[in-house]
Amino acid sequence: MTRPVNHIFRFKQFAVDQTDCAMKISSDATIFGAYVPTSGAKFILDIGTGTGLLALMLSQRAEATTRIDAIEIDAGAFTTAEKNARSSPFAAMLSVYNTSLQDYASRAPVAYDLIICNPPFFQSDLVTTISKSAHLARHAHVDGLNFTTLINCVKLMLAAHGRFWVLLPAREAEVFRGLASQAGLYERERLNLCHKSTSVPNRAIAAYALEAGDLVTTQLARYQADNNPTDAMRLLLAPYMLHY
């Protein structure tokens, strides 16, 4: 008899059910959630929350009085994210909404100190060069969630001294930086992720602000030469991952 698939990913303080979610948990997403600072943030927004992973990870480190909102346009993913939030120790801090980014931005209840996004969508001019499922491609074209839309909506919701953090493939991060700068959203921090210290970075975690300033760039290698996680990666993920 075939063993049923277990869609639940367990962390030290919470569990994430991935049922009905196209965007499954990835190591880069967990690095992203662990890396983004929450200090001083009273209002946090997770755009395209999927399973609710990032919202839950930020909830673990945020002050108990912090308000964390998460939005998700896909009905199935929204249902899963809401269940994950309710089942977590952070339920009182979290609110999940089934809505589009554009609709939410037009009526956002507060200016957010911290906005985070791991986009399940891509620039239309890069779609043919980047492999993705039909479900993700649908979000790029049908739902109109391109970089320009994201940037404009973030500008509507970001507090004057807030930060917008985004995780992107390295090539897309450069496209995003150019578009954001033209729109008045400026890259201030970047963590380049690479497989090993000798590898070319393939992902970028970047922070944007409404004010221009110096760009601080750092790098994180995921694995050592022997394919074991680096000490830096272990230290970053230790508060979350059961095996660290």
Instruction: Give the model confidence (pLDDT) of 15-36 as tens digits.
Output: 999 876 777 788 999 999 999 9
* Residue type at 41 in one-letter notation: A
Query: What's the whole-number mean pLDDT along residues 92-104?
Result: 98
Instruction: Give the model confidence (pLDDT) of 100-150 as tens digits.
Output: 999 999 999 999 999 999 986 444 334 433 444 444 433 333 345 799 999
Q: CA 14 from chain center: how many Å?
A: 17
Position of tokens 């939410």?
Answer: 104
80-108 CB burial, b ≥16 within 10 A, e <16: bbbbbbeebebeebbebbeebbbebbeeb
SS (H, E, C) 141-183: HCCCCCHHHHHHHHHHHEEEEEEEEEEEEHHHHHHHHHHHHHH
Distance in angstroms (rounded) separating the CA atoms of residues 89 and 94: 10
Distance in angstroms (rounded) separating the CA atoms of residues 28 and 41: 23
What is the percent of the chain where pLDDT is above 70?
86
Q: What is the mean pLDDT of the chain?
A: 89
Please tell me the predicted confidence (pLDDT) of residue 1: 46
Q: Among the CATH numbers 3.30.70.20, 3.40.1280.10, 3.40.367.20, 3.40.50.150, which is that of 30-237?
A: 3.40.50.150
Q: At what angle do helices 147-157 and 170-183 cross, to 10 degrees?
A: 50
- Give yes or no for residue 242 having a pLDDT over 60: yes
Break the chain into its structural domains and give their ranges. 30-237
Please tell me the predicted confidence (pLDDT) of residue 143: 45
Query: Per the structure block, which two tokens stand in for 235?
Result: 């230290």
Lowest model confidence (mean pLDDT) among 56-65, 126-135, 153-162: 126-135
Lowest model confidence (mean pLDDT) among 2-6, 49-53, 113-117, 134-138: 134-138
- Give yes or no for residue 166 having a pLDDT over 80: yes
Distance in angstroms (rounded) separating the CA atoms of residues 172 and 152: 17
Number of H helices, E strands in the chain: 8, 10
- Residue in 220, 209, 48, 207 with CA at minimum distance from that of residue 117: 48
